A and B are shown apart, each in its own frame.
Chain A
Amino acid sequence: MMTFSLWDIVRNLLIGGALTLLLSLVAFALGGATGLLVLFARIGKWRAPRALAQMHIELFQGTPLLLQLFTLFFGLSLFGLDVPAWLAAGLGLTLFTSAFLAEIWRGCVEAVPRGQWEASACLAMTYWEQMRHVILPQAMRLSIAPTVGFAVQVVKGTAVTSIIGFAELTKTGSMIANATFQPFLVYSLVALGYFILCYPLSRYAQALERSFHAAR
């Protein structure tokens, strides 16, 4: 029988942790880009894209991430595509993230006072000029704190991808726990890993929120 030293456990968890970090970054970046598209569709003038965006948001906010991953994993393979776990994980988390970020950002855009729209319309700005020079800069300032706060949810969401077999931190932890028969130690270390990733983000989000309220 193979024996595991504490360093063996930690070393393997670090590899899993690196994949968790990578998946979080990818999901956040792609989810942010997709979320921006969903946002523009959601607050735009055209009815069809608006309805589609709303459907996208409600669908991904109203169903479990795990079931989204399962449906995607098995749904894509119906088209004869061989979906590796990392692809389903990345795609699923991207769609999940985009729905939440679009909704957070919509709140920020709508929090910009109406007078700002009216004033910029008086200056004969087009819709995109209003967006670019007046609305988005103010909305962006509002959005930083909740966006950073949501990043914590993305990092924690990556844990669910372990269930479809993506070997990130939680999956690595499960495998090591099964091999070493030390579940309490291993899962505590796994929890510690997530805490190290999430806690600074949480604190940063809180600090941003506080400084924003002070500035007002």
Chain B
Amino acid sequence: MAYHFDFTFVPDYAGMLAQGVAYTLGLTVVGGTLGILIGIGGAVSRTWNVRPFGPLYGYYVELFRNTPFLVQLFLIFFGLPSLGIKLAEWQAAILAMVLNLGAYSTEIIRAGLQATPRGQVEAADSLAFTRWQVFLHVMLRPALRKVWPALSSQVVITMLGSSVCSQISAEELTFVANFIQSRNFRAFETYFLTTAMYFGLALLVRQAMHAIGRHLIVRRPSR
């Protein structure tokens, strides 16, 4: 018995799919930005062992890197209300993504900071750079430049991982796919199409990170 593939449902649900894509991208942009900021804070605290943040960040990183994102999400969405903290599904989704990416980017950026040669800092000191200037221009920016490819990959991984946010009914792309297939019973076609859309999104996010990296971090010194 031959199965007839039927993609005729697509135009009817195009609007919903577009909304799902927008939701997923929104989660990625907010989660990515805040996650990387947390990562910078963590990397700085860990590198110079700023008390009490350094050790705290250490526990946080190990905890979040050694448990699945799905369980973190469930703990935040289903678990926190019993402690009196009740979050809407989109808040829980963003919080989980930020915390998860924050833990990974802490370690990624820390590796970049540690790779700064001492001589560079000493050279900047002898040029009468202030502490803040040394940190920003001699340590942080070159560190981010070095680890930007790894950071980009991690953002893409987090974006792909956001598909499990459908399980707390955050209405991102996978949630939309689940909804559509429950209506048209074309499960394979729906998921196949959605998978292809994620593939496109991954390329898009990678390109966007590349562009951001070029403009924000790699800015060539003016001659």
Binding site for B on A (CB under 8 A): 59, 62-68, 70-71, 74-75, 78-80, 152, 156-160, 162-163, 170, 173-174, 177, 182-184, 187-188, 190-191, 194-195, 198-199, 202
Selected contact of B66 from candidates A152, A174, A177, A188, CB within 8 Å: A152
Task: Determine if B195 is an interface residue (Cβ-Cβ < 8 Å).
Answer: yes
The contact size tier of chain B is 35 or more
B160 and A187 contact, CB distance less than 8 A: no
Interface residues of B (CB under 8 A from A): 1, 3, 62-63, 65-72, 74-75, 78-83, 156, 160-164, 166-167, 174, 177, 181, 187-188, 191-192, 194-195, 198-199, 202-203
**A194 B66 Cβ-Cβ under 8 A:** yes
Let me know if B164 and A66 touch, CB within 8 A: yes
Contact B195 A170 (CB under 8 A): no
| Residues on the B chain within 8 Å of A74, using CB | 181, 187-188, 191
Cβ–Cβ < 8 Å partners of A183 in chain B: 74-75, 78-79, 81-82
Check A202/B191 contact, CB under 8 A, given A63-B198, A160-B164. Answer: no
Do the beta carbons of B195 and A63 come within 8 Å of each other?
yes
Partner of B161, one of A64, A177, A187, A198: A64
Q: Are the CB atoms of A63 and B78 closer together than 8 Å?
A: no
How far, in whole Å, are A173 and B194 apart by their CA atoms in the complex?
Answer: 28
Distance, CA A59 to CA B67, complexed state (A): 25
> Pick the contact of A71 from B82, B156, B191, B203 — CB < 8 Å?
B191
A80 touching B79 by the CB < 8 A rule? Answer: no
B residues in contact with A163, CB < 8 Å: 70, 164, 167
